[in-house]
Amino acid sequence: MNGQIDNYRFKGLRQQLVSSIRAKGIRNERILKAMLDIPRHCFLDEAFAEWAYKDTAFPISSGQTISQPFTVARQTELLEVRKGDKILEVGTGSGYQACVLAALGAKVYTVERHEELFMKTAKLLPTIGFNQVRTLLGDGYEGAERFAPFDKILVTAACNLIPKTLVHQLKDGGIMVIPVGNGEDQQMLKLAKHGEQIEIKEHGHYRFVPMLGGVATHA
Protein backbone atom coordinates (compact mmCIF):
# COMPACT_ATOMS: atom_id res chain seq x y z
CA MET A 1 0.00 0.00 0.00
CA ASN A 2 1.19 3.48 -0.79
CA GLY A 3 0.71 5.54 2.37
CA GLN A 4 0.61 8.90 0.65
CA ILE A 5 -2.04 7.93 -1.89
CA ASP A 6 -3.97 6.37 0.96
CA ASN A 7 -3.84 9.54 3.04
CA TYR A 8 -5.05 11.53 0.07
CA ARG A 9 -7.92 9.11 -0.54
CA PHE A 10 -8.94 9.07 3.12
CA LYS A 11 -8.87 12.86 3.29
CA GLY A 12 -11.34 12.95 0.38
CA LEU A 13 -13.60 10.46 2.12
CA ARG A 14 -13.40 12.53 5.31
CA GLN A 15 -14.44 15.65 3.41
CA GLN A 16 -17.54 13.79 2.18
CA LEU A 17 -18.30 12.55 5.68
CA VAL A 18 -18.00 16.02 7.17
CA SER A 19 -20.24 17.47 4.43
CA SER A 20 -22.91 14.89 5.23
CA ILE A 21 -22.71 15.66 8.95
CA ARG A 22 -23.01 19.38 8.21
CA ALA A 23 -26.05 18.65 6.03
CA LYS A 24 -27.61 16.78 8.98
CA GLY A 25 -27.47 19.96 11.04
CA ILE A 26 -24.07 20.22 12.74
CA ARG A 27 -22.88 23.79 12.17
CA ASN A 28 -20.05 24.07 14.68
CA GLU A 29 -17.04 24.60 12.42
CA ARG A 30 -14.49 23.72 15.11
CA ILE A 31 -16.06 20.29 15.55
CA LEU A 32 -16.30 19.75 11.79
CA LYS A 33 -12.65 20.78 11.39
CA ALA A 34 -11.57 18.32 14.10
CA MET A 35 -13.45 15.54 12.34
CA LEU A 36 -11.89 16.56 9.03
CA ASP A 37 -8.42 16.26 10.54
CA ILE A 38 -8.66 13.06 12.63
CA PRO A 39 -7.88 9.87 10.67
CA ARG A 40 -10.95 7.88 11.73
CA HIS A 41 -9.82 4.81 9.77
CA CYS A 42 -7.01 4.34 12.32
CA PHE A 43 -9.63 3.52 14.96
CA LEU A 44 -10.98 0.52 13.03
CA ASP A 45 -9.22 -2.69 12.07
CA GLU A 46 -7.35 -2.13 8.82
CA ALA A 47 -9.61 -4.41 6.77
CA PHE A 48 -12.54 -2.12 7.53
CA ALA A 49 -10.82 1.21 6.85
CA GLU A 50 -13.38 2.18 4.17
CA TRP A 51 -16.19 1.88 6.70
CA ALA A 52 -14.62 4.58 8.82
CA TYR A 53 -16.02 7.26 6.54
CA LYS A 54 -19.62 6.16 6.37
CA ASP A 55 -21.93 7.89 8.80
CA THR A 56 -22.74 4.74 10.73
CA ALA A 57 -21.79 3.01 13.97
CA PHE A 58 -19.42 0.09 13.43
CA PRO A 59 -18.25 -2.94 15.45
CA ILE A 60 -14.80 -2.67 17.03
CA SER A 61 -13.16 -5.40 19.09
CA SER A 62 -14.64 -7.00 22.21
CA GLY A 63 -18.22 -6.80 20.92
CA GLN A 64 -18.31 -3.01 21.21
CA THR A 65 -19.01 -0.28 18.68
CA ILE A 66 -17.48 3.00 17.58
CA SER A 67 -20.29 5.59 17.71
CA GLN A 68 -21.82 6.96 14.51
CA PRO A 69 -19.89 10.09 13.43
CA PHE A 70 -23.05 12.22 13.55
CA THR A 71 -23.63 11.11 17.16
CA VAL A 72 -20.04 11.99 18.07
CA ALA A 73 -20.52 15.46 16.54
CA ARG A 74 -23.88 15.96 18.26
CA GLN A 75 -22.68 14.87 21.70
CA THR A 76 -19.63 17.11 21.32
CA GLU A 77 -21.82 20.03 20.29
CA LEU A 78 -24.14 19.55 23.29
CA LEU A 79 -21.12 19.51 25.59
CA GLU A 80 -20.18 23.11 24.56
CA VAL A 81 -16.46 22.26 24.67
CA ARG A 82 -14.11 25.15 25.44
CA LYS A 83 -10.36 25.17 25.17
CA GLY A 84 -8.87 24.03 28.48
CA ASP A 85 -12.03 22.25 29.69
CA LYS A 86 -11.32 19.24 31.86
CA ILE A 87 -13.53 16.50 30.48
CA LEU A 88 -14.31 12.97 31.61
CA GLU A 89 -15.52 10.58 28.92
CA VAL A 90 -17.16 7.35 30.06
CA GLY A 91 -16.76 4.53 27.51
CA THR A 92 -13.43 5.01 25.71
CA GLY A 93 -14.11 2.32 23.10
CA SER A 94 -11.99 3.05 20.05
CA GLY A 95 -10.83 6.40 21.48
CA TYR A 96 -12.21 8.40 18.54
CA GLN A 97 -14.60 10.56 20.60
CA ALA A 98 -11.84 11.28 23.13
CA CYS A 99 -9.59 12.50 20.30
CA VAL A 100 -12.32 14.80 18.94
CA LEU A 101 -12.58 16.40 22.40
CA ALA A 102 -8.78 16.68 22.66
CA ALA A 103 -8.57 18.26 19.22
CA LEU A 104 -10.88 21.01 20.52
CA GLY A 105 -8.32 21.81 23.19
CA ALA A 106 -9.89 19.92 26.10
CA LYS A 107 -7.90 18.04 28.71
CA VAL A 108 -9.45 14.60 28.35
CA TYR A 109 -9.71 11.72 30.80
CA THR A 110 -11.47 8.68 29.41
CA VAL A 111 -12.48 5.54 31.27
CA GLU A 112 -13.10 2.08 29.78
CA ARG A 113 -14.25 -1.01 31.64
CA HIS A 114 -13.12 -3.60 29.11
CA GLU A 115 -9.45 -4.34 29.73
CA GLU A 116 -8.57 -5.58 26.25
CA LEU A 117 -10.15 -2.54 24.63
CA PHE A 118 -8.51 -0.22 27.14
CA MET A 119 -5.07 -1.67 26.31
CA LYS A 120 -5.62 -1.50 22.58
CA THR A 121 -6.76 2.14 22.66
CA ALA A 122 -4.15 3.24 25.20
CA LYS A 123 -1.54 1.89 22.79
CA LEU A 124 -3.09 3.43 19.68
CA LEU A 125 -3.58 7.06 20.76
CA PRO A 126 0.09 8.08 21.13
CA THR A 127 0.85 6.61 17.70
CA ILE A 128 -1.58 9.04 16.05
CA GLY A 129 -0.54 12.12 17.99
CA PHE A 130 -2.95 12.01 20.92
CA ASN A 131 -0.59 11.15 23.77
CA GLN A 132 -2.19 13.91 25.88
CA VAL A 133 -5.44 11.91 26.28
CA ARG A 134 -5.41 10.18 29.65
CA THR A 135 -6.83 6.64 29.31
CA LEU A 136 -8.08 4.92 32.47
CA LEU A 137 -9.20 1.36 33.16
CA GLY A 138 -12.20 1.17 35.46
CA ASP A 139 -15.91 1.25 35.96
CA GLY A 140 -17.37 4.42 34.50
CA TYR A 141 -20.19 4.39 37.06
CA GLU A 142 -17.48 5.36 39.54
CA GLY A 143 -16.24 8.20 37.35
CA ALA A 144 -12.63 9.16 38.10
CA GLU A 145 -12.57 10.52 41.64
CA ARG A 146 -8.80 11.05 41.53
CA PHE A 147 -9.14 13.68 38.81
CA ALA A 148 -12.52 15.18 39.75
CA PRO A 149 -14.15 17.66 39.55
CA PHE A 150 -14.71 17.98 35.80
CA ASP A 151 -16.02 20.89 33.74
CA LYS A 152 -17.83 18.43 31.51
CA ILE A 153 -18.74 14.74 31.52
CA LEU A 154 -19.65 12.82 28.38
CA VAL A 155 -21.15 9.33 28.63
CA THR A 156 -21.02 7.24 25.45
CA ALA A 157 -22.87 4.12 26.63
CA ALA A 158 -26.55 3.81 27.58
CA CYS A 159 -27.42 4.24 31.27
CA ASN A 160 -30.68 3.23 32.95
CA LEU A 161 -30.43 6.18 35.28
CA ILE A 162 -28.28 9.24 35.75
CA PRO A 163 -25.39 8.02 37.94
CA LYS A 164 -25.20 10.04 41.14
CA THR A 165 -21.41 9.69 41.38
CA LEU A 166 -20.95 11.35 38.01
CA VAL A 167 -23.16 14.28 38.99
CA HIS A 168 -21.03 14.69 42.12
CA GLN A 169 -17.86 14.77 40.06
CA LEU A 170 -19.20 17.59 37.89
CA LYS A 171 -18.14 21.16 38.77
CA ASP A 172 -20.70 23.74 39.68
CA GLY A 173 -21.66 25.26 36.33
CA GLY A 174 -20.63 22.04 34.58
CA ILE A 175 -22.40 20.14 31.80
CA MET A 176 -23.01 16.41 31.41
CA VAL A 177 -24.28 14.75 28.24
CA ILE A 178 -25.62 11.24 28.71
CA PRO A 179 -27.91 8.84 26.83
CA VAL A 180 -30.48 7.46 29.28
CA GLY A 181 -32.92 4.64 28.68
CA ASN A 182 -33.44 0.90 28.61
CA GLY A 183 -33.24 -1.45 25.68
CA GLU A 184 -32.69 -0.04 22.23
CA ASP A 185 -33.88 3.50 22.74
CA GLN A 186 -32.23 6.23 24.76
CA GLN A 187 -33.03 9.87 25.25
CA MET A 188 -29.99 12.15 24.94
CA LEU A 189 -29.97 14.25 28.08
CA LYS A 190 -28.02 17.42 28.73
CA LEU A 191 -27.62 18.26 32.40
CA ALA A 192 -26.45 21.62 33.64
CA LYS A 193 -25.39 21.76 37.28
CA HIS A 194 -26.19 24.93 39.19
CA GLY A 195 -25.27 24.30 42.82
CA GLU A 196 -27.77 21.78 44.16
CA GLN A 197 -30.03 22.33 41.16
CA ILE A 198 -29.77 20.17 38.06
CA GLU A 199 -31.40 21.42 34.91
CA ILE A 200 -32.17 18.60 32.46
CA LYS A 201 -33.05 18.99 28.78
CA GLU A 202 -33.92 16.25 26.28
CA HIS A 203 -32.19 16.17 22.92
CA GLY A 204 -33.76 13.34 20.97
CA HIS A 205 -33.55 9.59 20.58
CA TYR A 206 -30.38 7.58 20.07
CA ARG A 207 -29.24 4.00 20.33
CA PHE A 208 -26.11 3.10 22.33
CA VAL A 209 -24.53 -0.10 23.65
CA PRO A 210 -25.39 -0.50 27.35
CA MET A 211 -23.24 0.60 30.27
CA LEU A 212 -22.23 -2.63 31.96
CA GLY A 213 -21.37 -3.40 35.54
CA GLY A 214 -22.14 -1.20 38.52
CA VAL A 215 -25.62 -0.38 39.70
CA ALA A 216 -26.48 3.24 39.07
CA THR A 217 -28.17 5.27 41.75
CA HIS A 218 -30.40 8.15 40.81
CA ALA A 219 -28.99 11.63 41.05
Q: Among all residues, which ones are annotated catalytic?
A: 67
- CB–CB of 193/173 below 8 Å? yes
| Residue 160 binds ligand SAH (CB under 6 A) | no
CB of 206 to ligand SAH, least distance (A): 12
| Residue 140 binds ligand SAH (CB under 6 A) | yes
- Give the rounded distance of the alpha carbon of 16 from its chain centre: 21
Instruction: Bin 165: left if φ > 0, else alpha if -120 < ψ < 50, else beta.
Output: alpha
In the chain the first and final C-alpha atoms are separated, in Å, by 52
Residue 79 vs 197, nearer CB to ligand SAH: 79
x-marked contacts with ligand SAH along 45-74 as a string, rule CB under 6 A: -------------------xxxx-------
CB of 159 to ligand SAH, least distance (A): 9
| Residue 44 binds ligand SAH (CB under 6 A) | no
Dist. CA 111–CA 98, nearest whole Å? 10
| Residue 109 binds ligand SAH (CB under 6 A) | no
Dist. CA 103–CA 207, nearest whole Å? 25
| Contacting ligand SAH within 175-214 (CB under 6 A) | 209, 211-214
Residue 114 vs 193, nearer CB to ligand SAH: 114
Q: Which of 117, 125, 153, 191 binds ligand SAH (CB under 6 A)?
A: 117
| Residue 111 binds ligand SAH (CB under 6 A) | yes
Residue 129 vs 213, nearer CB to ligand SAH: 213
Residue 66 vs 189, nearer CB to ligand SAH: 66
Residue 128 vs 212, nearer CB to ligand SAH: 212
Measured from the Cβ of residue 33, the count of other Cβ atoms closer than 10 Å reads: 13
31's enclosing H/E stretch is helix 29-37
CB of 121 to ligand SAH, least distance (A): 8
Dist. CA 76–CA 180, nearest whole Å? 17
The radius of gyration of the chain's CA atoms, rounded to the nearest angstrom, is 16
Q: What distances in angstroms separate CA 38 from CA 4, 93, 100, 171, 173, one per listed residue? A: 16, 16, 7, 29, 30
| Residue 26 binds ligand SAH (CB under 6 A) | no
- Give me the torsion for CA of 138, 143, 148, 150, rounded to 10°: 120
Residues near ligand SAH (CB under 6 A) are: 64-67, 90-91, 93-94, 96-97, 111-114, 117, 139-141, 156-157, 209, 211-214
